[in-house]
Structure 1
Amino acid sequence: MTATSISATPSWTTLGTKEYVAHKRKVHSVAWSCGGQKLASGSVDQSVRVWSLHETGSATHTELTGHQDSVDQLRWDPLNPEVLGTASGDRTVRIWDTRTNKQVHAIETRGENINIRWSPDGQHVAVGDKDDNIAIIEMRKCKALKNIKFQSEVNEMAWEPTSGGKFFFLTTGSGSVEIFRYADMLAQEQAQPVHSLQAHTANCYCIDFSPKGEYLAVGGADAMVTIWDVHELVCLRTCTRFEWPVRTLSFSCDSRFLASGSEDLYVDIADVSTGEQVHKLSCSAAMNSVAWHPSRLLLAYAADDKDRVGRDDGSLRIFGFPSA
C-alpha cells in the first residue's frame, strides 16, 4: 500500500484517489484502526464494513450486521486494533471484535445516537444522541456509567489526549466548546465547565485533536474551521474558505495537515502551521466524514454521493495513492 512518506513534503498533484464500493446506501462515517491495518465504514444501510487494504491499493472487506437503523458514527478502540465501536439511530452502541467479525456487546442507550468517542486509555466511551444526551459507557463491564442530559444543543466531543483524558471537550449549539474535568462529570449530578472557548459565531459541529496533542480543530455552521493551541487555549488560525457548514475534521498523523469537509463540493487540506490550503480535493456531494491514516498520508473520505439514477452510491474513497 504505497503512500507518501510522512517526512517528505507531498507533491499533491501527483496523488490520486481510489474508490471502494460495498454499501447499498450512503456512507456516514469512516475511521482507521489505531494501527492502520483496517478501515471501517458505517452506512445508512445499517451495516458496517471492515476493509483491509493491500499494497496494490486493492481492498477486501467483511460485513458486520446487527444494527436496525443507520450507523451514524464509528470509532476504533485507541489501543486495541481489533475492537470497533459503532453508534446508531437504533438506540444502541455496539462493540465488535473484527478478528471474528462478530458483535461482542450491544449496549442500549436513551436516544438515537449520532456521535461516539473513546477515551485515550480505552476504558470509557462517550455517546451523544439527537436529544442532547451523552452516555458514558464503562468498557470493562460494557454498561452505562452515567447519562447526562444537556439543556441545549451538544454535538461532537473528545477527550484531551495529553492529559491522559482528564479533560473532556464538548462542542455546542451556541458556538462554544465547553471544557469539563472528566472526574467532575462522573462525580457530580450536573458538572459545570472549567473553561469555555467561544470558538465560532454559530453551532460548533465537529472537533479533533492532533495526534501529538498540541492542536485542537473545530468546525462550525458558520463555515469556518478554527485551529487552537491546546495548552494556551488560544486561537492560532482561522480557515474561511468554505461557504457552507463544516461537518468533519481530521489531522494527519504528523500533525502537519488538517483535512476538513463541508457541504461545499470539495475537501480542504490545510497546512496547520499557516492555515493555508495546500490541496483542494474535488467531490460531487456534501462531505460526511474524513479520516487520515494513523501513520501514512492516506485520507479516507465519504460523501452524500448519488449514482446516475439518483440513488445513494454507497462508496468511500481514499486519497494519497500515486496517480497512474
Structure 2
Amino acid sequence: MAPLLRPRASLQKDKFAAYFAPLKSQFYSDPASSGRGSSSSVIRSIAWNPLGNLVATGSSDKTLRVWNPEKPTVRFSTELKGHAAAIQKVAFNPVKDAELASVSDDGVVKFWDVRTKNCINEVKGLGDAFTLVWAPDGESLIVGNKSDKLFILSPTQSTPLSSHQQSVQTNQIAFCWSGKKIFVTTGEGQTRILSYPDLEPVLRFDYGLDSDDGKGKEFRLTGHTSSCVTADLQPTGRFLATGGTDSIIALWDTTDWICRRTLSKMSGPVRSISFTFDGSFIAGGSDEEAGVHVWHTETGEHMHTFKSAGPTPVVSWAPTRYCLAFSDNGVGGLRIAGVDPDRK
C-alpha cells in the first residue's frame, strides 16, 4: 500500500523518539539514475512544494524528478528533461505549488510547470551555478555561482534582473520571512546579513568607521572554525541555524544575534539543515556520515537518528507534517521517514 502523509500536528519532545522509532523510511527508487550509490547518480537537492504533497529531487546524473510521497513507485513520478549537466539545486515557488525552479552545472536556471512537464522559462549564462533560493513572495529568486557572483532573477524574464559580485567565498543563502533580508554563508565561517534586493550589509558596528564606505565595519555572525555552508531560518523566525564543515550546527537568536547553542553530535561536514514545520526540531545531514540526526530546538537535546545505508548530505522536512525527506548515498536514492499507511 502506498504511504500516506499524516495530518499536521505537533509532537511533544518526550514523544518524538517513541513516535519515529517503529517507523521505517520509505525508499523511492529511480531506475533512470545510472548506478545505485555511485558518485554519478547522487541526489544533490531535495525540495517539497508548499502543500507538502510533492517532492522534487535533482541529481548529479542530470535526473530531475518530482515524486508523489504517497506513491513511491517511479511510474507515479514525473521526470523533467532538459538540463545538460548535473543538477545542483531545486526549489518550488513558495506561493505556487506547481512551479519548480532548477539550476544546473550548465549555467542554466529552468522554471517548470510540473503539471504539464513544460519548461516555462529559462535563464542562461550564469556560470557554475550551484545555489538557488526563492524570495518568500515568489516574485524573484537568487542564484549564486562558484565565482561568488549572485544573480537576482525573475521567473518570467530570460535575463537576470541584477548581478552582484561578492568579495568572499559565498555558499548557500536563506531568506528572512519578510523577504527584506538574506543570510549568506561564507567560506570564512561567517554568515552575512544583507538587505534584499540591493544586497547591502544590514548591521554595522557603530565604532571604528574604518570601512571603505565610511559606514562602519560590517557585522557578521561568526560561529564556525571553518567554512559555513548552509543556513535555515526557523519557521517561527526565532532562530537562524547555520551549518559548517566543522561538523557544528549553530543556533542564532534573531533578536540579538547571539549564538544560543551549538549542536555537535555530527562527525562530518554539515551539508544541509532543516527545521520541522513548527520549528520544534531540526535535522542535519552530512556527506561523510550515515544517518540523519535530529535535535530539539529549544533545549539542544538529541532526539533521534534516522538510519541510512550511506551518507545523507541532503535533508528536508515537509512544510506541513512530520515527514523527513533525505538522500541516501548508500543506495543512491530518496528516502522519506514518517510516511506509513498503518500508523494513524
TM-score where L is the length of structure 2: 0.85
Greater CA drift, 72-81 or 107-116: 107-116
Counterpart of 2:193 (choices 169, 173, 179) is 179
Counterpart of 2:183 (choices 169, 172, 194) is 169
- The residue number in structure 1 matching 2:24 is 16
Q: Encode CA deviations 1:85-115: one digit per residue, 9 max, x unaligned.
A: 1011000111001111111111013311111
Superposition pairs of residues 136-175 of structure 1, within 5 angstroms:
136-161=152-177, 164-175=178-189
- The residue number in structure 1 matching 2:205 is none
Q: Distance in 2 between matches of 1:167 and 1:154?
A: 16
**1:102 and 2:102 matched:** no
- The residue number in structure 2 matching 1:129 is 145
Counterpart of 1:285 (choices 310, 315, 332) is 310
- The residue number in structure 2 matching 1:318 is 336
**1:228 and 2:252 matched:** yes
* Post-superposition offset of 1:142: 4.5
SS in 1 for 2:24: strand
**1:35 and 2:64 matched:** no
Tell me if the contact between 1:211 and 1:254 (Cα under 8 Å) persists in the aligned partners: yes
Tell me if the contact between 2:47 and 2:316 (Cα under 8 Å) persists in the aligned partners: yes
Q: Distance in 2 between matches of 1:267 and 1:250?
A: 11
Summarize the Cα distance change of 1:233–1:109 in structure 2 as closer, same or farther, 3 Å threshold: farther
Tell me if the contact between 1:4 and 1:320 (Cα under 8 Å) persists in the aligned partners: no
**1:205 and 2:221 matched:** no
Identity %: 30
Counterpart of 2:101 (choices 63, 77, 85) is 85
Counterpart of 2:82 (choices 42, 62, 66) is 66
- The residue number in structure 2 matching 1:243 is 267
Q: Encode CA deviations 1:26-50: one digit per residue, 9 max, x unaligned.
A: 2111110011121101111212111
Q: Distance in 2 between matches of 1:106 and 1:138?
A: 10
- The residue number in structure 2 matching 1:119 is 135
Greater CA drift, 130-139 or 254-263: 130-139
* Post-superposition offset of 1:82: 0.6
* Post-superposition offset of 1:267: 0.6
Q: Distance in 2 between matches of 1:97 and 1:143?
A: 19
**1:216 and 2:240 matched:** yes
Residue identity matched to 1:7: S
TM-score where L is the length of structure 1: 0.90
Tell me if the contact between 2:24 and 2:337 (Cα under 8 Å) persists in the aligned partners: yes
Q: Encode CA deviations 1:202-248: one digit per residue, 9 max, x unaligned.
A: 10000111122222110001110011112221111101111211101
Q: CA RMSD in A?
A: 2.2
* Post-superposition offset of 1:265: 1.3
Tell me if the contact between 1:15 and 1:323 (Cα under 8 Å) persists in the aligned partners: no
Tell me if the contact between 1:180 and 1:194 (Cα under 8 Å) persists in the aligned partners: no
Q: Distance in 2 between matches of 1:305 and 1:105?
A: 35
Point out the structure with the larger strand share.
1
Residue identity matched to 2:67: W
Unpaired stretches in structure 2, ≥5 consecutive residues: 34-40, 201-211
Tell me if the contact between 2:111 and 2:155 (Cα under 8 Å) persists in the aligned partners: no
SS in 2 for 1:143: coil
Q: Distance in 2 between matches of 1:5 and 1:147?
A: 39
- The residue number in structure 2 matching 1:3 is 6
Tell me if the contact between 1:47 and 1:71 (Cα under 8 Å) persists in the aligned partners: yes
Residue identity matched to 1:291: S
**1:275 and 2:325 matched:** no
**1:304 and 2:329 matched:** yes
Q: Distance in 1 between matches of 2:65 and 2:106?
A: 18
Tell me if the contact between 1:252 and 1:292 (Cα under 8 Å) persists in the aligned partners: yes
